[in-house]
Structure 1
Amino acid sequence: MALLILRVCFICVAAGIATLLLRIDISGPAYIPYLVIFGSVLMSLGVIAVDIFTPRKQIEVISGVYFGLLVGVLMTYILYLALAPLIPANSPYTAPTLLLMGSVLCYACTSLLLQTKDDFRFVIPYVEFARDLKGLRPIVLDTSAIIDGRLAEFAETNIIESQLVMPGFVLAELQAIADSNDRLRRARGRRGLDILNRLRTQPNIEFQIYDRELPEFAGQPVDMKLVILAKHLEGKIITGDFNLNKVAKVHNVAVVNLNEIAASLRPQFLPGEAFEVRVVKAGEGPEQGIGYLDDGTMVVIEGGRHRINATLPVVVTSTLQTQAGRMLFAKVDDAAIRSGA
């Protein structure tokens, strides 16, 4: 509503300026006054149309153009004052020269500010406008974390308070995977896009697509772009990629590893605890069978080799933590079987 009122006022002001121009005594055909009013209103409508059809405006671009023009006009005025004693009075070349000089300086200043806005900031008046981030530090999403699928379920628990940032180059990579000729890769890419839609529609999650191209991105692979972006935003990277995890830590960038989160949420079993597990295959030992818990933890069952496809009560004997995860060693609880029989 406020924008509508602003645009109507802008059209009225343009028409008012046109009526003021009509007070100037200009000889010509009778339709000139109407042409002036029509031209002013048409110009204002054109400006409003440009405003409407460019809804996504970046404040740093707008401020760069504004202050570039401001500095250019100021430099033109100062240069004109310096050269005024050298310019003949009432010279017909003064106005064109001043206009040309102003155009060149305004263009040069605006171009310089737009190209260097990410390298330095003026405290006043050219400031960096940054939106307040929800939570402590934003979390930059990696392709592997999106395709994994667990992130969406994790976000639905309302435990994530930070802003989730989806880089434009990661989205492009995900779209390329979804358009792959390989059936498996195509399915993984489409699942990743579905996960993104779930994250985007979560009411408790602040989701942003970051499509700016930083100068440091030039010639860098996707993993390094993620590291650079996380540094730029002073945020973290969430990933399931082992190599990216190592690269980020080398560059002192905080990493949230999905696999480590999943491992930390698995139930803890102490020696002597009992539970039931289904034997799915034979193990390496002569009497060993292999079973899996619901979270994927492998259980090596002593005495389970000849009871494949049976659900047995077992007792934990020991645990082993490896890089791939936690393994449980257990033995069949014959006493429980006999008492149950």
Structure 2
Amino acid sequence: MTLIFIRILFVILCASFGFQIGDFLQGLGRFAPFIGVGLGVLLALIIILMELSMKRVSIRGLSAGVFGLVIGILFARLIMWTISGLVDKEYHSILQVSLTAVFCYLGMIMAMRGKDEFNIIIPYIKLRREDQKEEIIILDTSVIIDGRIADICHTKFIEGKLVIPRFVLKELQQIADSPDPIKRNRGRRGLDMLNKIRKLSYMDVKIHEEDFPELQDVDAKLIKLSKMLGAKIFTNDYNLNKISELQGIPVLNINELANALKPVVLPGELMEVKLIKEGKEYNQAVAYLDDGTMVVVDNARHMIGQQAKVIVTSVLQTAAGRMIFTRLETQRGERDRR
């Protein structure tokens, strides 16, 4: 709405300026002021159309181009100053224009190709001590939908700036608008989690506008943005985790964090669980701890639905999580009597 108001104001100013110019052009007759108004409005519309066509031109890319242009001009002047004594004066102007054109072109092309590495450009320079590095964490769509990120932020274990890319928000919005009710609920849950995080006064949450239109895959965009900002990626996507690690990008995996926080259980320890269902093997029963860890109990099928004291025999760590194998405590008593 603000942009529309600014554009309307710009058209009015151009029309007013055109009216004043037309007032001086009396040779065109009494309609000269109105012709000036028409030309002013036309010029304003052309400029607005040019502005709309430049929507995809990022500030970083424009800054990189200007930086390359300035470097090109400096190099052209330096070379011209060096060789000016070796060239006849009548060729000075031609040589200067040629060198300036060539080096400006090369400077802009090289700067645009390396625009992702322009982290310190004069308009955006940040002055801070070298030993105080700002921690930047980029949130992935999967970790937002998961929801546990909001609880982690609430505990204040995360420090630094949380960055939510615009393309991640777009993907989240598409999921929330999906005709599939399950996907729609997941997308809306993710949006609710973002609102919850943004309401935390001690969390620094920023929306990053860079979209990388040349890339179609969201994971590829996340990796490129992470390289550009020198940031970590917070995700629970297995494939994104592996690809990021291969490219040397630090990854915070919420599933790995959850596994690390599970209590350590050693063989021989006693625990009490409620047996829920049958196991895969003969006469086994299965129970679950509060954190979701599966507990397999041998020879306990007859006790399904009851509380049982069990003794840990072994622990198996897999990619999907952890499994604890146990036997009933009564079995140890029988063995001791034997």
More helix by share: 2
CA distance in 2, matches of 1:210, 1:155: 19
Q: Which of residues 175, 188, 191 is equivalent to 2:189?
A: 191
How far 1:258 moved relative to its partner?
Answer: 0.9
- Paired residue for 2:253? 257
Question: Residues 116 and 228 of structure 2 are in contact (CA less than 8 Å); yes or no, is this contact kept in structure 1?
Answer: no
Query: Does residue 287 of the first structure (1) align with residue 292 of the second (2)?
Result: no
Larger mean CA deviation between 230-239 and 131-140 belongs to 131-140
How far 1:273 moved relative to its partner?
Answer: 1.2
Question: Residues 117 and 228 of structure 2 are in contact (CA less than 8 Å); yes or no, is this contact kept in structure 1?
Answer: no
How far 1:67 moved relative to its partner?
Answer: 7.9
- Paired residue for 2:231? 235
Q: CA 1:327 to 1:132, structure 2 compared with 1: closer, same or farther past 3 Å?
A: farther
- Paired residue for 2:146? 148
Task: Write out per-residue CA displacement over residues 254-294 of structure 1, whole angstroms, 9 at most, x where no aligned residue.
Answer: 11111110000000101111111111101122221000000
CA distance in 2, matches of 1:119, 1:289: 56
How far 1:120 moved relative to its partner?
Answer: 6.8
- Paired residue for 1:93? none
- Paired residue for 2:45? none
TM-score by length of 2: 0.63
How far 1:131 moved relative to its partner?
Answer: 5.2
Structure 1: stretches of 5+ with no match in the other structure: 1-57, 75-84, 87-104
Query: Does residue 310 of the first structure (1) align with residue 306 of the second (2)?
Result: yes
- Paired residue for 2:241? 245
TM-score by length of 1: 0.63
SS at match of 2:287: strand
RMSD of equivalent CA atoms:
4.1
Identity fraction in percent: 42
How far 1:61 moved relative to its partner?
Answer: 8.4
Q: CA 1:280 to 1:119, structure 2 compared with 1: closer, same or farther past 3 Å?
A: closer
CA distance in 2, matches of 1:132, 1:307: 67
How far 1:137 moved relative to its partner?
Answer: 2.7
Aligned length: 253
CA distance in 2, matches of 1:189, 1:181: 11
**Aligned ranges for residues 326-341 of structure 1 at < 5 Å?**
326-334=322-330
Q: Which of residues 221, 224, 241 is equivalent to 1:225?
A: 221
Structure 2: stretches of 5+ with no match in the other structure: 1-57, 75-88, 91-100
Q: CA 1:313 to 1:221, structure 2 compared with 1: closer, same or farther past 3 Å?
A: same
Q: CA 1:259 to 1:312, structure 2 compared with 1: closer, same or farther past 3 Å?
A: same
Question: Residues 313 and 333 of structure 1 are in contact (CA less than 8 Å); yes or no, is this contact kept in structure 2?
Answer: yes
Q: Which of residues 100, 103, 118 is equivalent to 2:115?
A: 118
CA distance in 1, matches of 2:144, 2:279: 34
CA distance in 2, matches of 1:122, 1:296: 43
